[in-house]
Structure 1
């Protein structure tokens, strides 16, 4: 029957048991756990309970704690935690080898938590302690998670303290629950405090939780706190994914904390963190923003030195920033490098280039880029057309230079009423 369970063929196991009964052979050697497991896998939970409480004793088999635990789990998974509680209490009455252990209690507590019956879960937790069964990290974490979801953060913190006082060490899942609880309430100071405690204990949150948390901090105007978290991670020597640092650096730059981003970037480089192309792009753009062009160029050169290849975003950042600075020849060279590398210019980039050149009076160069607008993969944006109409109309600033444009755009030079 155990083989049938492992093969996910419970019906075959039950058929085997039925045949055994019909032959009149001795049944005192029947594997109680396997029999119960077969009923549960076959979604015949009520029959499993009946066999557990009545049929097994008739067959001369005494159910053990493991058999009870299987039924408890299935009942809780079916949303019948109250029924599971009744079975748990029967285990206590049976005593001996059937006395509920931490796994049995944790199963029912988790069931109540999933059903949103947090007070029931807490009551059962207290009963468990009174009966001398010591909760483990799973039990504590289940209750803490339910309390956090119910926004009862004071009680969740109380359980955390109780946990530590009883020498049960919280794990990363425990802290994750509390961090998410505080974050959902917007209690950022408390969330940051718990996050730092997690890091100081050498625990590593999963990437999704950590990245979501630092993004939330930044989105709520707390980019500097996110940066402080990054500094703490570095100082503790904790290894985290590069995506976490990428989020923090990106958010710092977006929230006008560019200098803080540069300090953090250099600190990460000093401990040999391997940057990806997204971080290089972010920091090149940041360097240009604070007029540190030489450092931006050094970073661009460092891309290939780090075994990476510039992508379309890299070229866009370099070209637009070079144009903003008036470095037309360098921008042209970068554009050629982009095409040589196999990156076709996007419609957005080409329109940006044309507008910047026109605004700077570089009509001939703008005309060269206009010739790349084919009306198919690349089209002229409305804002570009409006600018050309403004500059090249009979009253426009550059009306006399209209002949420098490709012929199909020279209609912008006619009078528009």
Structure 2
């Protein structure tokens, strides 16, 4: 009956009909019915039956199999708490869980990410003398790795080996993949190297994990070395291996090598998949070989594969535009149309953005006209892109005209739209117009976000309205808006500008108290302003604090310090900082070199102090000012 899915009839037979025939149900009879109920997602009924029989007493005493069946049923239905309650009830009944029960519970807890509970059950399992089998260990380690806890997984791996268990290739693969996902490449390769000594022969999937990990971290040379090692060990690459290697070669610009791998793959009887063709097409798009792109697209279509869609081409176009390669991007745009793809609003907007970024607004509007002619309405992102182009190119009046057109077309501006226009107005020094727009935003009920406040505060400071910016900043702080470090940096600089040093110091001190961390820009603002006020000792203490916070001073800051000290006549101290210049991470900027020539040349006012500089810079004493 249970096999035929007639569970209700089976329950009736168990509880009523068997006794009529003089038969007494035993634990096997009950277990069959319990399993059938659980298979039908009726685990609660199974539990009710189990508890009813237990309360009635009698000859039937449920064993670990019956309990495990219902526990597993609850887990399958997502009733984790009920499953755990029944597990504890079973323990209280004096029934010792077996390896199947424990494994079922651990596996189910891992699937719902209750890792700490799973860990306790595993520990209890070991303490009770039940030896976990390899599947249990792997299930637990897999879940730890999946949740970014590969270091803990490694501890359990070591625990396995210390107990005499020999991890198999699946367990090794699990931990290798965990390390790879978290970027722990040194741990990954050390574990891989230990496999051979432990008698584990790496198969193709293990090598794939290593190759993919190195490729994703940009270590493509190392990925190629692993690929070579794989072949040397007689392991044949599969489609996944070739996909990873070809993608890596394409990103390196080694397209001929990538095609070589494609041909070798086909020669061994493996057929490239969509992922491989996509990598190659993207590579040739990026390097401008559109003839090869057409060839590969045709090849895909002849094999019955779906060709790259407009989403793919839009991504390529966007990447090229961001690199300033708008001509190449337009060629890809035309190619997409030629092979039958229809550009969408994202494709057109990406291309418009490309022209805006290189200052070709006339061409950006030609693309807009083509977009409208194709029956695609520009959206708020298209308008915002064009507004940003006008703003960047100092054509704010054209931007305001376009904004009016946008509003006339009933397109509601976003925060980014307002931010773009405000930024443009402040850049053009039109503070009054910017303030008017802010007032209109507030009146229309538009929420002023943190990013907008950042633009307003920075814009006011840029236009010599520091006191006004400080007043607004104090109002924003009173609104309990969580500020970021960038805004605080802007305001610290503003406070120094208007000789409100104590307030600047207090604001700097509040950064850590707010749970934020001062960044390199914060320290640069503090140090340079303290130096400008002649507070050299305080500035040096601040630099020391910066270094103790593991925030190394960069080349820009060291050059700032050198220039300020030189301008103040602090030649010895400037020389001390010049000693930090190594030509690698820290180099002298052109403006610093120019200042050194002006101050220490034959006509310079500090020419007598040239010997106070480090020896390698004393040649400035013989320079002449042109």
Same fold at TM > 0.5: yes
Corresponding residue of 2:296: 338
Corresponding residue of 2:98: 136
Corresponding residue of 1:79: 44
Corresponding residue of 1:116: 81
Return the match for 1:237 from 201, 222, 227: 201
CA contact (8 A) 1:354 1:366 kept: no
Query: Once the 2 structures are TM-superposed, how far is the Cα of residue 377 of structure 1 from its aligned partner?
Result: 1.9
Corresponding residue of 2:168: 202
- Note the alpha carbon deviations across 1:266-301, whole angstroms, 9 max, x for none: 333334444344432321332354576775454243
CA contact (8 A) 1:182 1:191 kept: yes
- Whether 1:67 aligns to 2:34 is no
- Whether 1:287 aligns to 2:249 is yes
Q: Aligned equivalents of 2:107 and 2:101: distance in 1?
A: 10
Query: Once the 2 structures are TM-superposed, how far is the Cα of residue 153 of structure 1 from its aligned partner?
Result: 4.2
Q: Aligned equivalents of 1:7 and 1:83: distance in 2?
A: 20
Return the match for 2:229 from 250, 258, 267: 267
Provide closer, same or farther for how the CA distance between residues 394 and 67 of structure 1 changes in structure 2, counting only shifts above 3 A: closer
- Whether 1:304 aligns to 2:273 is no
Return the match for 1:250 from 201, 207, 212: 212
Three-state SS of the structure 2 residue aligned to 1:122 is: helix
- Whether 1:42 aligns to 2:8 is yes
CA contact (8 A) 1:354 1:370 kept: no
Query: Once the 2 structures are TM-superposed, how far is the Cα of residue 158 of structure 1 from its aligned partner?
Result: 1.6
Number of aligned residues = 337
Q: Aligned equivalents of 1:360 and 1:203: distance in 2?
A: 47
Corresponding residue of 2:123: 158
Q: Aligned equivalents of 1:262 and 1:59: distance in 2?
A: 74
CA contact (8 A) 2:317 2:333 kept: no
Query: Once the 2 structures are TM-superposed, how far is the Cα of residue 254 of structure 1 from its aligned partner?
Result: 2.3
- Note the alpha carbon deviations across 1:341-392, whole angstroms, 9 max, x for none: 2546765559759969x978999x9879947744952547444455568879
Query: Once the 2 structures are TM-superposed, how far is the Cα of residue 238 of structure 1 from its aligned partner?
Result: 6.1
Provide closer, same or farther for how the CA distance between residues 70 and 247 of structure 1 changes in structure 2, counting only shifts above 3 A: same
Aligned-pair Cα RMSD in Å: 5.1
Q: Aligned equivalents of 1:346 and 1:147: distance in 2?
A: 41
Provide closer, same or farther for how the CA distance between residues 155 and 72 of structure 1 changes in structure 2, counting only shifts above 3 A: same
Query: Once the 2 structures are TM-superposed, how far is the Cα of residue 127 of structure 1 from its aligned partner?
Result: 3.9
Corresponding residue of 2:473: none
Q: Aligned equivalents of 2:296 and 2:37: distance in 1?
A: 62
Q: Aligned equivalents of 1:232 and 1:71: distance in 2?
A: 49
CA contact (8 A) 1:253 1:286 kept: yes
Q: Aligned equivalents of 2:299 and 2:240: distance in 1?
A: 18
Three-state SS of the structure 2 residue aligned to 1:191 is: helix
CA contact (8 A) 2:185 2:213 kept: yes
Q: Aligned equivalents of 2:44 and 2:20: distance in 1?
A: 29
Q: Aligned equivalents of 2:108 and 2:248: distance in 1?
A: 42
Query: Once the 2 structures are TM-superposed, how far is the Cα of residue 218 of structure 1 from its aligned partner?
Result: 4.8
Q: Aligned equivalents of 1:79 and 1:353: distance in 2?
A: 55
Provide closer, same or farther for how the CA distance between residues 312 and 115 of structure 1 changes in structure 2, counting only shifts above 3 A: closer
